[in-house]
Amino acid sequence: MAESKDPLADTVVNNLKVYDDPRKMRDVVIALRAQGRKIGFVPTMGALHAGHLSLVEASRRETDVTIVSIFVNPTQFSDPADLERYPRTLFLDMALLSQLSVNAIFAPKQDAVYPAGYSTSVVVSGVTDRWEGEFRPGHFSGVAMVVLKLFNMVQPDIAFFGQKDYQQTLVVRRMVEDLNVPVQVRICPTIRERDGLAMSSRNALLTADDRERGLVLSRSLKLASELFAAGERDATKIRQRMLAQFEKTPGVTMEYVTLVDPAQMNEVSHARADSVAIIAARVGNVRLIDNCILGQVDAWTTNR
Question: By C-beta, is 168 or 225 nearer to ligand PAF?
Answer: 168
Question: By C-beta, is 59 or 168 nearer to ligand PAF?
Answer: 168
Query: Which 3-state string (H, E, C) describes 222-288?
Result: HHHHHHHHCCCCEHHHHHHHHHHHHHCCCCEEEEEEEEECCCCCCECCECCCCCEEEEEEEECCEEE
Phi and psi dihedrals of 70, rounded to 5?
A: -130, 110
- The window from 139-147, 189-197, 227-235, 265-273 that contacts ligand PAF (CB under 6 A) reads 139-147
Residue 147 engages ligand PAF in binding (rule: CB under 6 A)? yes
Residue 163 engages ligand PAF in binding (rule: CB under 6 A)? no
* Distance of closest approach, residue 159 Cβ to ligand PAF, in angstroms: 9
Contacts with ligand PAF by CB under 6 A: the residue count is 10
Q: Which residue from 45, 104, 122, 257 is in contact with ligand PAF, where contact means CB under 6 A?
A: 45
Residue 290 engages ligand PAF in binding (rule: CB under 6 A)? no
* Distance of closest approach, residue 287 Cβ to ligand PAF, in angstroms: 14
Provide the angle, in degrees to the nearest 10, between the axes of the packed helices 235-247 and 215-229: 150
Question: By C-beta, is 44 or 163 nearer to ligand PAF?
Answer: 44
Residue 143 engages ligand PAF in binding (rule: CB under 6 A)? yes
Q: Which residues contact 36 (CB under 8 A, 6 or more apart)?
A: none
What is the C-alpha to C-alpha distance for residues 279 and 49, in angstroms, rounded to an integer?
A: 21
297: left (phi over 0), alpha (psi -120 to 50) or beta: beta
Please give the torsion angle defined by the CA atoms of residues 15, 149, 289 and 201, in that order, rounded to the nearest 10 degrees.
Answer: 20
Phi and psi dihedrals of 82, rounded to 5?
A: -65, -40
Nearest to 280, CA basis, from 164, 194, 175, 150:
164
Asked if 52 is an active-site residue, the reply is yes
Q: Which residue from 22, 40, 41, 44 is in contact with ligand PAF, where contact means CB under 6 A?
A: 44
Question: By C-beta, is 165 or 193 nearer to ligand PAF?
Answer: 165
Strands 104-106, 65-70: pairing is: parallel
Q: Which residue from 68, 127, 145, 146 is in contact with ligand PAF, where contact means CB under 6 A?
A: 146
Q: Which residue from 59, 73, 128, 141 is in contact with ligand PAF, where contact means CB under 6 A?
A: 73
Q: Which residue from 165, 193, 290, 298 is in contact with ligand PAF, where contact means CB under 6 A?
A: 165
What is the C-alpha to C-alpha distance for residues 209 and 110, in angstroms, rounded to an integer?
A: 35
Q: Which residues contact 63 (CB under 8 A, 6 or more apart)?
A: 37, 38, 39, 40, 157, 158
Residue 29 engages ligand PAF in binding (rule: CB under 6 A)? no
Q: Which residue from 22, 40, 43, 51 is in contact with ligand PAF, where contact means CB under 6 A?
A: 43
* Distance of closest approach, residue 56 Cβ to ligand PAF, in angstroms: 13
β-bridge mates for residue 278, sequence order = 258, 291
Question: By C-beta, is 76 or 203 nearer to ligand PAF?
Answer: 76
State the residues that interact with ligand PAF by CB under 6 A. 43-45, 73, 76, 143, 146-147, 165, 168
